[in-house]
């Protein structure tokens, strides 16, 4: 077995060494061929220098350094493209993804599964609002999307070479890895894990980032919002037609009466809000088309270190 570990990093100077030492201990127990691919996603601290020093001491460690922060999705894709292992693991470096789970993943893979991922059984270390939003996201995503995502599933997963090749073949710019991993199919299962607190540093995810991430996931794997817009427009048109008929009948029977301004303003604001919402949905899909047709690269490599040396 040849094991590839893909570890995206962004400003993780406080924890990266601890992660590496823990991971190496687990790999030594496995006693297998391996490679560790760190992707520095434009870190602004000493993360890159620490990774370079690690690569100098271990020829099985590679470091991909981006020219700027392209995001975790791009980092995962870059690592997958660089990997050559039979089993490929994607995991965070903040030690919320416990390297000691890797042997359990291998056992599952040896049972015949192509993908093994972890699922959090609790979110004790997350805020109340974040927990609420996370649960809402999975419900909405599974309701609207073509793919079904297990609630609480993490990016920490092990995949076979066939799965990785399938994921790499999808070269779309707007990437939502959780959806892509499910969309390609193959036999998958999960391991339930407890929520682990970060060992050091702070989370890079803000609420606004999570909202954008959720919108990306829904619009990347579903056109149901567009269809809902059609039905909503049709429904409002019916209501408007009925209202016009009622007003016409009222005028014929009771004559013209002074209309109530509050009700008129309320209806105008309601219809205007619906129109803006529908325009926003259409704009989101149009923007994705605009970005995709540019064919810009998902990332730009500033520096690549392999076998302890910089690759030109």
Give pLDDT tens digits for 68-120: 888 888 888 889 988 888 899 998 888 888 888 899 999 888 888 998 888 88
Domain boundaries, the chain: 2-126+153-201+297-311
201 pLDDT above the threshold of 60: no
CA–CA separation, 282 and 224 (whole Å): 12
Q: Cβ neighbours of residue 47 under 8 Å, at least 6 residues apart? A: 9, 10, 11, 12, 13, 16, 40
Q: pLDDT value at position 300? A: 86
CA–CA separation, 250 and 270 (whole Å): 23
Q: pLDDT value at position 297? A: 80
Q: Which residue has the higher pLDDT, 52 or 291?
A: 52
Phi, psi angle pair for 42, to nearest 5°? 70, 40
Write the secondary structure of 242-291 as one string of H (helix), E (strand) and C (coil). HHHHHHHHHHHHHCCCCCCHHHHHHHHHHHHHHHHHHHHHHHHHHHHHHH
Q: pLDDT value at position 39? A: 92
**Which pLDDT band holds residue 182 (cuts at 50, 70, 90)?**
confident
**Which pLDDT band holds residue 208 (cuts at 50, 70, 90)?**
low
Q: pLDDT value at position 6? A: 93
Q: pLDDT value at position 37? A: 92
Helical H runs in the chain?
16-30, 47-57, 72-82, 102-110, 128-144, 161-169, 177-183, 207-220, 224-254, 261-294
CATH class of the domain comprising 2-126+153-201+297-311: alpha beta
Q: pLDDT value at position 211? A: 67
20 C-beta neighbours (distance < 10 Å), count: 21
Paired residues of 118 in beta bridges: 191
CA–CA separation, 254 and 252 (whole Å): 6
Q: Cβ neighbours of residue 292 under 8 Å, at least 6 residues apart? A: 172, 173, 174
Terminal Cα distance for the chain, rounded: 30
Name the one residue in this structure whose structure tokens are 């619906």: 274
């Amino acid at each position: 077995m040849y094991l590839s570990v893909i570890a995206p990093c962004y400003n993780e100077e406080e924890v990266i060494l601890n992660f590496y030492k823990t991971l190496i201990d687990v790999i030594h127990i496995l006693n297998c061929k391996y490679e560790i691919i760190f992707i520095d996603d434009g870190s602004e601290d000493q993360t890159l220098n620490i990774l370079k020093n690690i690569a100098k001491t271990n020829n099985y460690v590679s470091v991909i350094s981006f020219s700027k922060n392209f995001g975790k999705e791009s980092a995962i894709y870059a690592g997958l493209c660089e990997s050559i292992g039979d089993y490929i693991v994607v995991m965070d470096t903040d030690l919320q993804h416990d390297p000691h789970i890797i042997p359990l993943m291998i056992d599952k893979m040896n049972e015949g599964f192509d993908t093994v991922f972890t699922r959090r059984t609790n979110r004790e270390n997350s805020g109340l609002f974040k927990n609420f939003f996370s649960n809402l996201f999975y419900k909405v995503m599974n309701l609207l999307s073509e793919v079904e995502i297990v609630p609480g599933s993490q990016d920490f997963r092990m995949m076979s070479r066939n799965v990785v090749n399938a994921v790499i073949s999808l070269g779309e710019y707007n990437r939502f890895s959780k959806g892509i991993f499910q969309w390609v199919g193959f036999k998958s299962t999960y391991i339930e894990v407890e929520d682990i607190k970060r060992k050091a540093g702070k989370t890079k995810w803000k609420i606004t980032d999570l909202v954008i991430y959720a919108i990306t996931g829904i619009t990347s794997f579903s056109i149901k919002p567009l269809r809902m817009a059609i039905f909503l427009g049709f429904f409002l048109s019916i209501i408007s037609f009925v209202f016009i008929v009622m007003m016409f009948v009222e005028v014929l029977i009771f004559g013209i009466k002074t209309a109530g301004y509050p009700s008129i303003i309320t209806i105008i604001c309601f219809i205007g809000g619906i129109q803006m919402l529908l325009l926003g949905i259409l704009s989101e899909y149009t923007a994705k088309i605009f970005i995709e047709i540019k064919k810009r690269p998902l990332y730009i490599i500033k520096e690549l270190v392999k076998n302890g040396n910089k690759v030109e």
